[in-house]
Structure 1
């Protein structure tokens, strides 16, 4: 009897060992990878969160489970199993905005397409894939940006100064400079307002430079580092000083009045003589 018990224990131990070994091997045979670095999405466009996994040769996808989740709030972005999307588990903010590349799943492509990207989509996304070979996951960071619009120029004059201003909209906050004729940095006033008219995820930029010279040769520089957008707009003009013009006009009028007075006096003198 003890011999039989020992044999049963030995067989059970061997079974457990094989089961554990099989589990380890199964987990190790699937690998999920995502692109390195940070992915930047542009406002209103479609972006693709890349994700690849080790495919099973000849698999019919019956055991495939793909889950995309945003890590900051643990919202389910997209869920797929039983060979179909499981949209009842999807967070409401992603309804109608996500899809997988279904014909590519058998090739190991679990990438996610998100349309109409906005600031609410920024965050870390986890791609988790399960097959009969095991489970693995990886994370990708999604950022958001908006190309700045063509800067709008306005120029205003006062008695002693001229003011040059540019306005534009974009995201995130840009690096702004005003450069002189020799490329030197000029002091300026820049104001950036967020969410103008309730438009979240958009900055309204106003940047101005003032000078007390009648001639300008300067350059406005705006750089959106996130989207590698670099705008340079030169401004070159000269204008006449209104005060000097006033002096010239006053002198001219005085001369005309003096000539008229001399002519009248001459006529009166001639009239009296005759």
Structure 2
């Protein structure tokens, strides 16, 4: 298993017993990812999804290294890859699974007007689309409103929740396939003010309201 960061480069490893007249084929299902023979790259039949994004380290091939550098990793790159290397002496097949990880951001914002109190839970730049749920105390509750946006293949989601009882803690949970995050809001005192950390102010694109009488706690519920 190899983990690649979205929009970054990653290396798919493939080692083989050194030999002569190397023939290298990288494939993902039926897609031709990269081919090499006659001591040069052969890219005429390369799948368009991988055009200008693959690189073999030619200087390392004689030593038995056919690892592939994949540039500008995207979510559709995720999945199993096969590396075949044939020489006059041996044949080698290596299977590599690529998992793509997106650098997502999460935030919880508190808003108060003369008539209502509101919590807004944000998930920015995730893949796939996240699911957001709420707890009031230990009871599941329905969100008040929701808004979704797309940036290419990435999703951003905002879920709103009205605060009906300030004596209860409220918890926002953001669910993704490989991880879950939670944020908790509780009332602390009438005169206490807290502001969002700078990194969260940036990703909320201008939402810079002070957090009046709020305690925000983020916890990593589960990863795997």
What TM-score do the two structures reach when normalised by structure 1? Answer: 0.58
Asked if the contact 1:162–1:213 (Cα under 8 Å) also holds between the matched residues in 2, the reply is no
Matched, 1:83 2:39: yes
Q: Distance in 2 between matches of 1:97 and 1:53?
A: 23
The residue correspondences of 1:1-274 to structure 2 (distance < 5 A) are 38-56=1-19, 61=20, 63-71=21-29, 74-151=30-107, 153-157=109-113, 159=115, 161-169=116-124, 170-174=126-130, 176-178=132-134, 184=138, 186-189=140-143, 191=146, 193=148, 196=150, 199-215=151-167, 217-222=169-174, 224=176, 226=178, 231-237=181-187
Alpha-carbon shift at residue 117 of structure 1 (Å): 0.7
Alpha-carbon shift at residue 155 of structure 1 (Å): 2.0
**Relative to structure 1, is the Cα distance of residues 95 and 222 closer, same or farther in structure 2, using a 3 angstrom cutoff?**
same
1:224-261 CA distance string (max 9 Å, x none) = 453x5x65444334799xxxxxxxxxxxxxxxxxxxxx
Asked if the contact 1:215–1:238 (Cα under 8 Å) also holds between the matched residues in 2, the reply is no
Tell me the C-alpha RMSD between the 2 structures: 3.0
Where in structure 2 are there 5+ consecutive unaligned residues?
191-224
Q: Distance in 1 between matches of 2:48 and 2:129?
A: 29
**Relative to structure 1, is the Cα distance of residues 105 and 239 closer, same or farther in structure 2, using a 3 angstrom cutoff?**
same
Asked if the contact 1:152–1:168 (Cα under 8 Å) also holds between the matched residues in 2, the reply is no
Which of these two proteins has the greater Rg computed from alpha carbons? 1
Q: Distance in 2 between matches of 1:191 and 1:51?
A: 45
Q: Distance in 1 between matches of 2:87 and 2:114?
A: 73
Asked if the contact 1:175–1:223 (Cα under 8 Å) also holds between the matched residues in 2, the reply is yes
Instruction: Tell me the number of residue pairs that the alignment of Structure 1 and Structure 2 aligns.
Output: 188
Alpha-carbon shift at residue 154 of structure 1 (Å): 4.6
Instruction: Choose between structure 1 and 2: higher helix proportion.
Output: 1
What TM-score do the two structures reach when normalised by structure 2? Answer: 0.69
Where in structure 1 are there 5+ consecutive unaligned residues?
1-37, 241-274
Asked if the contact 2:129–2:156 (Cα under 8 Å) also holds between the matched residues in 1, the reply is no
State the SS of the aligned residue for 1:103: helix
State the SS of the aligned residue for 2:59: helix
1:129-156 CA distance string (max 9 Å, x none) = 1000132323222232312224252525
Q: Distance in 2 between matches of 1:119 and 1:46?
A: 13
Q: Distance in 2 between matches of 1:130 and 1:70?
A: 18
